[in-house]
Amino acid sequence: MGQQAKGAGIGFVRVTGSNSCNVLMIYPKFMADSFWNFSEACELVGARYPAIPLGLITVAAMLPESWNVRLVNRNTEDLTESDLAWADMVMTGGMLFQQADSLELIDMCRKRGLPVVVGGPDVSSSPHRYATANFRVVGEAEGILHEFITAWDAGQREGLFESPKFQVDVTKTPIPRFDLLKFEQYLYIGVQYSRGCPFTCEFCDIIELYGRAPRTKTHAQMLAELDALHALGYRGHVDFVDDNLIGNKKSIKAFLPVLENWIKERDYPFEFTTEASLNLADDGELLHMLRRSNFFAIFVGIESPDEETLAAARKKQNTRRSISESVHKIYKAGMSVTAGFIVGFDTEKGSVAQPMIDLIEESNIPIAMVGLLYALPNTQLTRRLAREGRLHFDHDSAPAGKGDQCTAGVNFETTRSRLDILRDYRKVLERIYDPDAFCGRIERLAAMLDCSDRRKELPEGDIRGRVSTIKLVHELMSRLPEGRERFWKAFTTCMKINPNSVRGIVTLMAFYLHVGPYSRYVMKQIDRQIEDLEAGRFVPPKLLPPTAPVEPERIAVNA
Ligand code: SF4
């Protein structure tokens, strides 16, 4: 460990000598209408969902060896009567946009008399929403699971277990139970190196859940996880799910050469992606290291083109820079960029649509996840809005069918007119996912992406290799709802100007199968909201009464 981890916190304690127990882990369904499910792109290669339930399989690894575990992911497979009949206990939970299904599962289990345990980010942020579960595990499981297991063994069948905040020593976290996964169901497999982020973005719940001093695993621990995946025969895309992989630069710079060595020795079985803050672009050495370690794409939170808005949202790492030039630097290091943008901040002066469209175009970001501002529970933003008496009464509930931040955002009283916010949002979506605009960004990206040392061939056994690039292109063209000629032209242009980029470029085009129609769907929903506002039919949701001011504002806490 040494160089990576502070490691003085609470370590995971394995409970031994426990009785036997059949644990059914159920990963709840995400909202069907979501930017993130990329369902059509999954279908192209025969997968069912992009990402694995990493949290649940990590908890599975912490359970006593005498306990039997089965996993059902409701996003990829059916939950059967025989699964439920087998179980002595159900463990479930996830994120806000899984809340509706989590609550349904709890209800179903309670009706059967099957004890149910919930944990995960949404339970940790809003434990009151899950009061119907038998057990609630709040915070990081490593810090508290042993107490739950001891209580269960003693015959307890109700309880609330809270892990001390930010104190879990992740160097003691066991290797996730990758063996519980059916790899062929997923586009990629997730692993985690660090928890926490040093920045202070007002709308972010990560720093509230995991703190501002990133805690990292040891090199040996991380390689053992990759060894486990490799030994199970997995090959292909691995995503470091860290919310900011470069949150502790010293640590990641010490780890990347070790990772580079590991993949080189095994002839590059994995290709990596991750999330990182935009200041990555300022560090040529780090970019070079990521490239050499076979990272091919990075998700970056850009949020707004407006400097004042970024500063007010405490996203200072994106200010005092040319955002598009920063993104271009990442392209020149051989990695594409997918980015998040938000419409609906208080500080937006007039229309933000055109500057946002211009920024996405200048940066040549094909997949821009543009959402409406959503006051997530347990954030500085939500506490501020609560103090100001602007929070919708049901701001932390995500009922079935309501959608995610694309269709159900601005869950608070806005300062700018709600109508203007929605019009701006619609305009951005309409323009950026026009096939011509999308393909233009793809072509310009291909011209910038330095893939000179990237392998054209996928590792043997990679799910993406089920369909050859050329077959994928034909399949893609046949499925495209519109703009086929334009997409074909973009493909041939990329072939001509940068043949090494084509594999990555075709993957981005495949994502259009989801984001193109999805953006049209969102626009229709937004149109309805706009019509209601214009016709005076919009009934403003009930607001929570203002909370007492708390000064100074608590910003996460272990910085
Ligand atoms: S950079 Fe990302 S993870 Fe870090 S505080 Fe901001 S939004 Fe959260």
Local mean pLDDT, 10-residue blocks, the chain (559 residues): 43 77 96 79 89 97 96 97 97 94 97 97 96 97 94 96 94 97 96 97 96 97 98 96 97 98 96 98 98 97 97 96 98 98 95 97 97 94 96 84 75 96 97 97 97 80 78 88 91 95 91 92 94 94 83 48
Answer yes or no: are the C-beta atoms of 124 and 209 closer than 8 Å: yes
Beta-sheet strand order (sheet of 67-73): 67-73, 21-27, 89-92, 116-118, 135-138, 159-162
State the Cα–Cα distance between residues 232 and 431, nearest whole angstrom. Answer: 44
What is the per-residue pLDDT for 454?
80
State the Cα–Cα distance between residues 89 and 87, nearest whole angstrom. Answer: 5
197 lines ligand 1 (CB under 6 A): yes
277 lines ligand 1 (CB under 6 A): yes
How far is ligand 1, taken at its centre, from the CA of residue 486, in Å? 36
206 lines ligand 1 (CB under 6 A): yes
State the Cα–Cα distance between residues 519 and 434, nearest whole angstrom. Answer: 10
Answer yes or no: are the C-beta atoms of 363 and 339 closer than 8 Å: yes
Closest to 184 (Cα-Cα) out of 232, 146, 143, 144: 232
- Please list, in sequence order, all residues whose beta carbon lies within 8 angstroms of the beta carbon of residue 147, skipping any fewer than 6 positions away: 161
What is the per-residue pLDDT for 402?
65
**Residue from 202, 243, 310, 405 whose mutation best tests the ligand 1 pocket (most atoms within 8 A of CB):** 243
**Residue from 166, 201, 209 whose mutation best tests the ligand 1 pocket (most atoms within 8 A of CB):** 201
204 lines ligand 1 (CB under 6 A): yes
Indicate which atom in ligand 1 lies nearest the CA of residue 244: 3
Answer yes or no: are the C-beta atoms of 446 and 493 closer than 8 Å: yes
Beta bridge partners of 412: 391
- Three-state DSSP state, 230: helix
Q: What angle do CA 205, 206, 210 make, to 5 degrees?
A: 125
Distances in whole angstroms, Cα of residue 213 to Cα of each of 166, 200, 216, 282, 558: 9, 11, 10, 21, 6
Q: Which helix (H) or strand (E) holds 444?
A: helix 435-448
Cα 165 to chain centroid, rounded: 21
How far is ligand 1, taken at its centre, from the CA of residue 445, in Å? 25
What is the per-residue pLDDT for 558?
46
Both structure tokens of 378: 């347990």
State the Cα–Cα distance between residues 28 and 95, nearest whole angstrom. Answer: 9
Indicate which atom in ligand 1 lies nearest the CA of residue 199: 5
**Residue from 166, 194, 195, 197 whose mutation best tests the ligand 1 pocket (most atoms within 8 A of CB):** 197
Q: Tell the residue number behind the tokens 């169901």, with chain if given.
A: 185
Q: Count the Cβ atoms, other than its own, within 10 Å of residue 247.
A: 27
Cα 506 to chain centroid, rounded: 22
Q: What angle do CA 17, 23, 29 make, to 5 degrees?
A: 150
Closest to 448 (Cα-Cα) out of 336, 312, 530, 308: 336
201 lines ligand 1 (CB under 6 A): yes
Closest to 176 (Cα-Cα) out of 240, 109, 116, 226: 226
* Ligand 1 atom 3, closest CA: 243
Contacts for 524-527 with beta carbons within 8 Å, 24 or more apart? 525/403, 525/407, 526/407, 526/422, 526/425, 526/426, 526/429, 527/426
244 lines ligand 1 (CB under 6 A): yes
State the Cα–Cα distance between residues 521 and 421, nearest whole angstrom. Answer: 18
Closest to 406 (Cα-Cα) out of 517, 308, 300: 517
How far is ligand 1, taken at its centre, from the CA of residue 392, in Å? 24
State the Cα–Cα distance between residues 435 and 430, nearest whole angstrom. Answer: 10
278 lines ligand 1 (CB under 6 A): no
How far is ligand 1, taken at its centre, from the CA of residue 241, in Å? 13
Q: What is the rounded radius of gyration, in angstroms, for the C-alpha atoms of the chain?
A: 23
Indicate which atom in ligand 1 lies nearest the CA of residue 197: 4
How far is ligand 1, taken at its centre, from the CA of residue 206, in Å? 7
243 lines ligand 1 (CB under 6 A): yes
Answer yes or no: are the C-beta atoms of 516 and 433 closer than 8 Å: yes
How far is ligand 1, taken at its centre, from the CA of residue 246, in Å? 11
What is the per-residue pLDDT for 519?
94
- Please list, in sequence order, all residues whose beta carbon lies within 8 angstroms of the beta carbon of residue 366, skipping any fewer than 6 positions away: 336, 338, 438, 441, 442, 445, 508, 511, 512
How far is ligand 1, taken at its centre, from the CA of residue 266, in Å? 33
**Residue from 194, 275, 277, 309 whose mutation best tests the ligand 1 pocket (most atoms within 8 A of CB):** 277
* Ligand 1 atom 8, closest CA: 204
How far is ligand 1, taken at its centre, from the CA of residue 43, in Å? 31
